[in-house]
Amino acid sequence: MLLKRLTEAYGVSGDEGDIRDILKEELSGHADEVYTDALGNLFFRKGKGRGPKVMLAAHMDEIGLIVVGFEKSGLLRVHKVGGIDDRVLVSKPVVVGKNKVPGVIGAKAVHLQKPSERKKAIKIENLYIDLGVRSQDEAEKLVSLGDYVSLSAKTREAGDNCLIGKAFDDRVGCAILAELFKEDFDLDITAVFTVQEEVGLRGSGVAAYSIHPDVAIVVESTSASDVVGTKDASHVTTLGGGPAITLMDASYIAPQVIIDLFVQTAEKLGIPHQFRRLTTSGTDAGKIAQTHAGILTGLVSVPCRYIHSPASIININDVQNTSRLVKGVLNVIAEGGLTLETTTEKIK
Amino acid sequence: MKQLLKKLSEAYGPSGREEQVGRMIRDELKDYVDEIYTDNTGNLYAVKKGTGAKIMVAAHMDEIGVIVTFVEEKGFLRFSNVGGVNPHILLGQRMVFANGTIGTIGMEKLDDIKKLTLEKLYIDIGAKDREEAVAKVKVGDIATYNRDVVEAGNRIIGKAMDNRAGCAVLIKAMQELTKTDNEIYAVFTAQEEVGLRGSRTASYRLNPDLGFAVDVTLVGDTPEAPTMDVSLGKGPTVKVKDASVICHPKVKEMLESLAEKENIPYQLEVLIAGGTDAGAIHLSREGIPSGVISIPCRYVHTPGEMVDLDDMANAVRLLTLFLSQPLNMQEIFPCYLS
Amino acid sequence: MWNKVQVSPKNWGLSDLDIKRFLKDICEAPGVSGYEHHVAKVIKAAFCQFCDEVRQDRLGNVVFYKKGTGESNRPRILLAAHMDEIGLMVTKVEEGGFLRFTAVGGIDPRTIVGQEVILYGKETLAGVIGAKPPHLTDDEERGKGHKIEDLHIDVGLPEDQVRKLAAPGTLAVIRRELIELAGNSIAAKALDDRAGIAVLLTCLDELERLQHSADVYAVATVQEEVGVRGAAVATYGVVPDIGIAVDVTHGEMPGVPEHDVSYIGKGPALTLGPNIHPKVGKELVRLAKEYRIPYQIEVTPGVTGTDARAIQVTRGGIATGLVSIPLRYMHTSVELLDLDDIKQAGRLLAHFIAAVDHEFVEGLPCY
């Protein structure tokens, strides 16, 4: 299963090589053109079609850590890459660097902490990676400064058609687009698997610049907070509630034509769908929409509980329905169902 | 001016949903320009063709608002902010949606008013339950303040003076601008309040020789105001700097000397926090020398924003004169170093 | 828009003394973000002898072009060091002629109390930064740092004259002459990032004695301190294959973990992380080893706070590197560094440029 392979692979922002390799292997036979750019974005292009030029985007990178120093004892000092809650990190297994050296995230044992310490969150400054080595020399033989550190976790099936695992944000988007790209649409399509979304939406803007599409669709994963102790109004999305269409986030406001396109397509095809009920946090959609003289961009996400942790949950129905919705939207675009032209009046 | 400002201020146009204001502006300008068009960010362009310098003047037409994120079973609407809205100012406000539905903002029981956040507030549109509510308002619909304009002497109070006052100034300038060789692009930009988004794509599209923004600015003449040498009624300002842009020194000087020469009252503005469209324009492509003319405005981002009609009239004069003068770009921006 | 440079024959390189003198000239020249024209002139005078053409773009970035020896389709390398410095800007003239001000760029108000300033109004004025004296404050107040709103500039003139000479928008900088310290150390204002400018100059000088097929665009950028603004438009204009930012980084000091700093005098810091193209980062390290240039590795987990941030995401994406000079007391008037680090960084960049060929550039987008 592609999604399992993609999520179990390691690809912290700036170090997306393994994900690129999987996708290249998976899609090269289906594309007319495959290339990468100076940042590492991976592009697959195919098709002609008379319709608008379409960009599909999902980001390959995941949050993680990076080695910034060594203790004499051989423990590694790390900083966070992307937005991680420090409290999630303690006692997690990791792999470090190109050679995937295994390690664990350690902290002072609770027995040795003062009562006042025990009540506090354990900050990254008080965490370290333990490779099981006894000295800095030994550690330096295994890893180097600047090596990326990824949380490691298996992807497993669980509950009622759910998956447990890490990095669904946004490997689920990658998997959906990879599968869709294999199908035929009467369109000029470029699927881009972007880098460095988690460190400030770095990859998508330059990718959109070089493709210069007429319309872009971003497939993301977003928070589902439909859990005990959270009020209905704060659920953001509901697990199993279908693809979540974004109306507005910190980087983006959906144009009315795009909302209509997604909602009407979902209704026509009988696909359950929901709106993302949170307006904070930015996405690649915002960057793409602001490229060149403005690119019409849509954003749809798979709900994910406990996002940005190595034990998150998604629902397989949501994945399938998101895929169906994007496919439906692409067909509508191919049939000329999206008005791209804006009004021009020549007065004199 | 008064009539135009009233019409624009009372119009509905939060960030991302500016079409109603756009149509109004189009009607005002259609007899005065050569071309009008829109783009997919939501900007409206009104163009006077010419052979001289290519100048873009941006006035954002969007206003702040709130976006519905959830409809409760009992019909109350939960919302989030569109742009910089403050929960304390929202409390008790009357809000209006695009389709005219009006509601009032209520608050959950709260022991300490200092702890008021947007999450504690909701809009009540008088619906009995969810079913009745969603017949009028859906998740994703955006509401703005519902507030009529009032006159207070020579000053006008209303919502969205930020930046319909700027729109009014730019409309008037385009109407009064008769003789010029310059090619003028009046761009009524979208989504300024959420991050200068319309002006970013518009300036990329146009790649002008010179960029301007016409916007409102804060003042320092009210009790315990921020430290700022700008007063209401002492003329439009020539911006030096804000958080988004350091205006091109040459453009700033040209505006200053024109105002001096024509005896137009003006003030110099250093705004500590906040930005404007020029912030996006000047960084477009290889860089665009940009300046800003601001209209002093009290109580920005409240439903009681106050501007002075003389400041606006003087802003129109300054802008019109600037745009009408012949501008030789090679002379104005020779390589400093050659 | 390019201006040919009149090159006079030269038969000398930069000595230690030359670099120190150049740094004194540029550090003492004013160039607050957005108003860099003065320091730009000083920089141009020194750079022109080492380059073929120069131009200034519409935001004020100065681009020095040095042609490569390649036949055609030469690789294009951009080097960026920002010439702007942090400063103060008048917001209001108060009664009595006291000037209220805001910061241009990041200034810790606690470091400017009791400093002399130079105010660039209609005339250049001498002034001091004043605050309420300790005698009139209580213990609690004295325990707190000054906020920028608490401070004012006093130029010792009556209000009406101050209004004429120093309108809102007038700029000021801390008055500070370059201080020579023990060994190769110096302290000055604006070494962030005039040190980077000096690195660019030493690099161009080194290149006189090396073969390089690549074209070099050494850019003194503007407005870095207010949000890496100049580098974005300069890179858009140059369209380089590789962009390398040269800036300063934090030197070691008590109370800061070792892994968060670099050591002064131990060579330039080479950054690794998502902001840096892995092949550019590795090549810099390789060449430092090959030419026995001391260096240190600095790891930045996300975007860096330098021109590299803007360069990388220009147009369709640029392979980016970052070379930094370790420096203590950043954003104060006593920024301190070791001149040797500047020279070593200049040498390293020159060797990097000389090593760049077609094959290297073509490999950059191949992951």
Has residue C289 been placed in a domain?
Answer: yes
| Contacts made by residues B29-34, CB under 8 angstroms, sequence distance 24+ | B29/B171, B29/B174, B29/B175, B29/B186, B30/A345, B30/A347, B31/A347, B32/B174, B32/B175, B33/A347, B33/B174, B33/B186, B34/A346, B34/A347, B34/A348
Neighboring chains of B (3 or more beta-carbon pairs < 8 A): A, C
Strands A296-304 and A215-223 come out as parallel
Token pair recorded at residue A311: 């034990």
Using one digit for the tens of pLDDT, what is the confidence trace for B268-324?
Answer: 999 999 999 999 999 999 999 999 999 999 999 999 999 999 999 999 999 999 999
Question: Do residue C71 and residue C101 come from a single domain?
Answer: no
Residues of A in contact with B194 (CB under 8 A): 253
What CATH number should be reported for the domain whose range is B2-63+159-332?
3.40.630.10
Topology of the domain covering A64-151: Elongation Factor Tu (Ef-tu); domain 3 (2.40.30)
In the 3-class helix/strand/coil scheme, how is chain C assigned residue by residue? CCEECCCCCCCCCCCHHHHHHHHHHHHHCCCECCCCHHHHHHHHHHHHHHCCEEEECCCCCEEEEECCCCCCCCCEEEEEEECCECEEEEEEECHHHCEEEEEECCCCHHHCCCCEEEEECCCEEEEEEECCCHHHCCHHHHHCCCCHHHCEEECCCCHHHHHHHCCCCCEEEECCCCEECCCCEEEECCHHHHHHHHHHHHHHHHHCCCCCCCEEEEEEECCCCCCCHHHHHHHHHHCCCEEEEEEEEEECCCCCCHHHCECCCCCCEEEECCCCCHHHHHHHHHHHHHCCCCCEEEECCCCCCCHHHHHHCCCCCCEEEEEEEEEECCCCCCEEEEHHHHHHHHHHHHHHHHHCCHHHHHHCCCC
For residue B38, give the nearest of A233, A293, A343 by CB distance.
A343
* Distance separating alpha carbons of residues A339 and A52, to the nearest angstrom: 10
Question: Which residues, 6+ apart, have CB-to-CB distance to C182 below 8 Å?
Answer: none
Question: Do residue C274 and residue C288 come from a single domain?
Answer: yes
* Distance separating alpha carbons of residues C220 and C213, to the nearest angstrom: 22
The single-letter DSSP state of residue B254 is H
For residue C301, give the nearest of A80, A203, A210 by CB distance.
A80
Task: Identify the segments of chain C with pLDDT beneath 50.
Answer: 9, 11
| Predicted pLDDT at C140 | 82
For residue C92, give the nearest of B229, B240, B335 by CB distance.
B229
Q: How many residues does chain C have?
A: 367
Question: Which residues, 6+ apart, have CB-to-CB distance to B214 below 8 Å?
Answer: B57, B58, B59, B163, B166, B169, B170, B292, B293, B294, B295, B315, B319
Partners of residue B238 on adjacent β-strands: B268, B293
| Predicted pLDDT at B338 | 40
Has residue C63 been placed in a domain?
Answer: yes
* Distance separating alpha carbons of residues B31 and C34, to the nearest angstrom: 40
Contact B35 A294 (CB under 8 A): no
Alpha helix stretches (DSSP H) within B45-189: 87-90, 130-134, 161-176
Residues of C in contact with A145 (CB under 8 A): 272, 297, 299
- The CA angle A147-A149-A154, to the nearest 5 degrees, is 145
Does residue B296 sit in helix, strand or coil? strand
Q: How many CB pairs under 8 A join A and C?
A: 89
- Among residues A14, A34, A36, A16, which one has the least CA distance to residue A25? A34
Residues of A in contact with C318 (CB under 8 A): 38
For chain C, which residues lie within 8 Å of any Cβ of chain B, measuring from their own Cβ? Answer: 1, 3, 33-35, 37, 40-41, 44, 54-62, 89-93, 100, 102, 104, 149, 167-169, 223, 226, 229-230, 232-234, 236-237
Token pair recorded at residue A128: 């370290």
> Which residue range forms the structural domain that includes residue C108?
87-174
* Distance separating alpha carbons of residues B44 and A344, to the nearest angstrom: 10
* Distance separating alpha carbons of residues B271 and A242, to the nearest angstrom: 46
Is the CB of C259 inside 8 Å of chain A's CB atoms? Answer: yes
Residues of C in contact with B286 (CB under 8 A): 57-58, 233, 236-237
Q: In what order do the strands lie in the sheet with B305-308?
A: B150-152, B155-158, B305-308
Give the chain A residue nearest B33 (alpha carbons): A347
Residue ending a domain, among C139, C174, C209, is: C174
Q: Are A249 and A283 in contact (CB under 8 A)?
A: yes
Residues of A in contact with B140 (CB under 8 A): 247-248, 254, 259, 275
| Predicted pLDDT at C136 | 80
Contact C301 A69 (CB under 8 A): no
- Binning chain A into helix, strand and coil, the percentages to the nearest 5 are 30, 30, 40
ipTM, interface predicted TM-score of the complex: 0.92
Question: Do residue C73 and residue C201 come from a single domain?
Answer: yes
Using one digit for the tens of pLDDT, what is the confidence trace for B91-112?
Answer: 999 999 999 999 999 999 999 9
> Chain-wide mean pLDDT for chain A?
95
What is the percentage of chain A residues whose pLDDT exceeds 70? 98
For residue B39, give the nearest of A290, A293, A347 by CB distance.
A293
Question: Number of structural domains, chain C?
Answer: 2
What is the percentage of chain B residues whose pLDDT exceeds 90? 95
Give the chain A residue nearest B22 (alpha carbons): A343
Residues of C in contact with B267 (CB under 8 A): 168
For residue B272, give the nearest of C3, C55, C91 by CB distance.
C91
Measured from the Cβ of residue A46, the count of other Cβ atoms closer than 10 Å reads 19
Partners of residue B239 on adjacent β-strands: B269
* Min distance B15 CA to chain A CA atoms (Å): 8
| Contacts made by residues C144-148, CB under 8 angstroms, sequence distance 24+ | C145/C109, C145/C110, C146/C109, C146/C110, C146/C113, C147/C109, C148/C101, C148/C102, C148/C103, C148/C107, C148/C109
Q: What is the mean pLDDT of residues B78-82?
A: 96
Is the CB of B335 inside 8 Å of chain C's CB atoms? Answer: yes
Q: Is the pLDDT of residue A268 over 70?
A: yes
Is A71 a catalytic site residue? no
| Predicted pLDDT at A339 | 80
* Min distance C248 CA to chain A CA atoms (Å): 18
Token pair recorded at residue B232: 């209401």
| Predicted pLDDT at C133 | 79
Does residue B167 sit in helix, strand or coil? helix
- Among residues C306, C278, C305, C294, which one has the least CA distance to residue C342? C294
Residue ending a domain, among C148, C174, C200, is: C174
Partners of residue C321 on adjacent β-strands: C244
Question: Do residue C277 and residue C316 come from a single domain?
Answer: yes
Per-domain boundaries in chain A: 2-62+166-334, 64-151
Question: Do residue C134 and residue C278 come from a single domain?
Answer: no
Range in A111-115, B159-163, B209-213, C310-314 the model is least confident about: A111-115
| Predicted pLDDT at A342 | 64
Question: Do residue C241 and residue C322 come from a single domain?
Answer: yes
Q: How many CB pairs under 8 A join A and B?
A: 89
Is the CB of B48 inside 8 Å of chain A's CB atoms? Answer: no
What CATH number should be reported for the domain whose range is B65-145?
2.40.30.40
CATH pick for A2-62+166-334 out of 3.50.50.60, 1.10.10.60, 3.40.630.10, 1.10.10.10: 3.40.630.10
Q: Are B251 and B289 in contact (CB under 8 A)?
A: yes
* Distance separating alpha carbons of residues C166 and B275, to the nearest angstrom: 24
For residue B78, give the nearest of A233, A296, A343 by CB distance.
A233
Per-domain boundaries in chain B: 2-63+159-332, 65-145
Question: Do residue C202 and residue C167 come from a single domain?
Answer: no
Has residue C184 been placed in a domain?
Answer: no
Using one digit for the tens of pLDDT, what is the confidence trace for C154-194?
Answer: 999 999 999 999 999 999 999 999 999 999 999 999 999 99
| Predicted pLDDT at B333 | 81
Question: Do residue C74 and residue C118 come from a single domain?
Answer: no
Token pair recorded at residue B68: 């519905």
Q: How many CA atoms lie within 13 A of B142 on its CB side?
A: 25
Question: Do residue C141 and residue C161 come from a single domain?
Answer: yes
Contact C315 A209 (CB under 8 A): yes
Residues of A in contact with B26 (CB under 8 A): 345
- Residue C147: CATH number of its domain: 2.40.30.40
Contact B229 C1 (CB under 8 A): no
* Distance separating alpha carbons of residues C5 and B245, to the nearest angstrom: 32
* Min distance A196 CA to chain C CA atoms (Å): 7
For residue A196, give the nearest of C259, C274, C316 by CB distance.
C274
Q: How confident is the model at residue A341 (pLDDT cuts 50, 70, 90)?
A: low
Q: Which one of C313, C322, C361 would you mutate to disrupt binding with A, by most A Cβ within 10 Å of its Cβ?
A: C313
Q: How confident is the model at residue B337 (pLDDT cuts 50, 70, 90)?
A: very low
* Min distance C297 CA to chain A CA atoms (Å): 7
* Distance separating alpha carbons of residues A297 and A285, to the nearest angstrom: 6
Contact A248 B140 (CB under 8 A): yes
Using one digit for the tens of pLDDT, what is the confidence trace for B224-278?
Answer: 998 999 999 999 999 999 999 999 999 999 999 999 999 999 999 999 999 999 9
Give the chain B residue nearest C314 (alpha carbons): B285
Has residue C358 been placed in a domain?
Answer: yes
Contact A38 C277 (CB under 8 A): yes
Give the chain C residue nearest A69 (alpha carbons): C259
Neighboring chains of C (3 or more beta-carbon pairs < 8 A): A, B
Phi-psi label, residue B39: left if phi above 0, alpha if psi -120 to 50, beta otherwise: beta
Residue ending a domain, among C174, C197, C230, is: C174
Give the chain B residue nearest C237 (alpha carbons): B286
Question: Do residue C219 and residue C350 come from a single domain?
Answer: yes
Alpha helix stretches (DSSP H) within chain B: 2-10, 19-29, 87-90, 130-134, 161-176, 197-206, 249-262, 278-281, 309-324, 329-332
Q: Which one of A340, A347, A348 would you mutate to disrupt binding with B, by most B Cβ within 10 Å of its Cβ?
A: A347
Contact A289 B38 (CB under 8 A): no
Residues of B in contact with A278 (CB under 8 A): 69, 80
For chain A, which residues lie within 8 Å of any Cβ of chain C, measuring from their own Cβ? Answer: 13-15, 17, 20, 35-42, 65-70, 77, 79-82, 125, 145-146, 195-196, 199-200, 202-203, 205-207, 209-210
Q: Which of B18, B28, B192, B193 is catalytic?
A: B192
Q: Are C90 and C148 in contact (CB under 8 A)?
A: no
Question: Do residue C222 and residue C325 come from a single domain?
Answer: yes
Is the CB of C167 inside 8 Å of chain A's CB atoms? Answer: no
Is the CB of C273 inside 8 Å of chain A's CB atoms? Answer: yes
| Predicted pLDDT at C13 | 63
Contact B195 A275 (CB under 8 A): no
Has residue C329 been placed in a domain?
Answer: yes
